[in-house]
């Protein structure tokens, strides 16, 4: 079973979850998880429009043996091109780590998700100390607020804090003081309280939270994750490949990072 897989549908927004029973069934069958992961990998491979022959659109046809020299090579049929969903631009404030780090981990998460909170409180600090601070890893956040309006509000608030250079402190505060799931406690007053505790300019913070453009960035991340078929939160891509789903121990992340690190040309080999 995938810990952290959603157990109910939120407003009918997830295309892969027809209801709580269907989602629970998917969580109980590892083969279905592998199918989702394989689909996600295919989609990721198409994030840029490219042909199967390195971007040239077609492959030269081979001439039969014994063909006289100088015979023109017949044109090959066009190879169909396929484009995956275009990833929204990531605000630099939502990244931590060096841009030239050999490994990038992208997290899709929801601020109400208890398993996301477990990762943020226990695993992420260890990854930052071991890999981010040593230049090996870059962490990238993408919003996947499928638990509803307050999840969206929290995501917008975190991005508003990012405009004052406090995205990650606000992110950490949301998880450090995470209310129970669907408790209704992620109110404007609650979010203002977190912002005040971090020393943010509250007038500027509230103005940013009311900016429709900021809310649109959250919606774009959510739509992108849906197009990829993200199978719940938290979900992690390691160097563009779907690797980790749900609540997993630190060792699972260490193994994936070391493996990706060894596969990158010029990257330091695993120790």
**Is the entire prediction scored with pTM above 0.85?**
no
Look at residue 2 in the predicted model and tell me its pLDDT: 38
Look at residue 230 in the predicted model and tell me its pLDDT: 93
Look at residue 85 in the predicted model and tell me its pLDDT: 80
Look at residue 249 in the predicted model and tell me its pLDDT: 97
pLDDT tens readout for residues 166-180: 999 999 999 999 999
* Residue 52, CB-side half-sphere exposure with 13 Å CA sphere: 7
Domains of the chain, CATH where assigned: 20-47+83-263 (3.40.30.10)
Look at residue 237 in the predicted model and tell me its pLDDT: 96
Look at residue 265 in the predicted model and tell me its pLDDT: 57
Structure tokens at 194: 């977190």
pLDDT tens readout for residues 18-74: 222 223 333 333 333 433 443 444 344 333 322 222 222 333 344 455 556 665 555
Look at residue 93 in the predicted model and tell me its pLDDT: 97
Low-confidence ranges of the chain (pLDDT < 50): 1-63, 76-82, 270-271
Look at residue 98 in the predicted model and tell me its pLDDT: 97
């Amino acid at each position: 079973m995938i810990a952290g897989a959603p157990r109910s549908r939120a407003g009918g927004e997830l295309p892969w979850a027809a209801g709580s029973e269907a989602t629970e069934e998917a969580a109980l069958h590892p083969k279905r998880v592998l199918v989702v992961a394989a689909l996600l990998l295919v989609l990721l491979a198409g994030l840029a429009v490219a042909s199967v022959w390195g971007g040239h659109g077609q492959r030269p046809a081979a001439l039969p043996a014994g063909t006289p020299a100088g015979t023109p090579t017949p044109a090959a049929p066009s190879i169909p091109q396929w484009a995956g969903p275009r990833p929204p631009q990531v605000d630099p404030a939502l990244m931590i780590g060096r841009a030239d780090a050999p490994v990038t981990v992208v997290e899709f998460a929801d601020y109400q998700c208890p398993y996301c909170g477990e990762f943020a409180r226990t695993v992420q600090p260890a990854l930052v100390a071991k890999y981010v601070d040593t230049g090996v890893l870059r962490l990238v956040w993408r919003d996947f607020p499928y638990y509803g309006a307050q999840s969206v509000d929290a995501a917008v608030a975190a991005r508003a804090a990012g405009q004052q250079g406090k995205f990650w402190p606000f992110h950490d505060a949301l998880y450090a003081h995470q209310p129970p799931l669907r408790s209704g406690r992620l109110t404007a007053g609650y979010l203002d309280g977190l912002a005040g505790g971090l020393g943010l300019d509250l007038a500027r913070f509230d103005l940013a939270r009311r900016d429709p453009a900021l809310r649109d960035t959250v919606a774009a991340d959510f739509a992108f994750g849906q197009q990829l078929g993200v199978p719940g939160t938290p979900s992690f891509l390691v160097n563009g490949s779907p690797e980790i789903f749900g609540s997993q121990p630190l060792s699972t992340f260490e193994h994936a990072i070391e493996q990706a690190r060894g596969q990158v040309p010029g990257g330091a080999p695993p120790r």
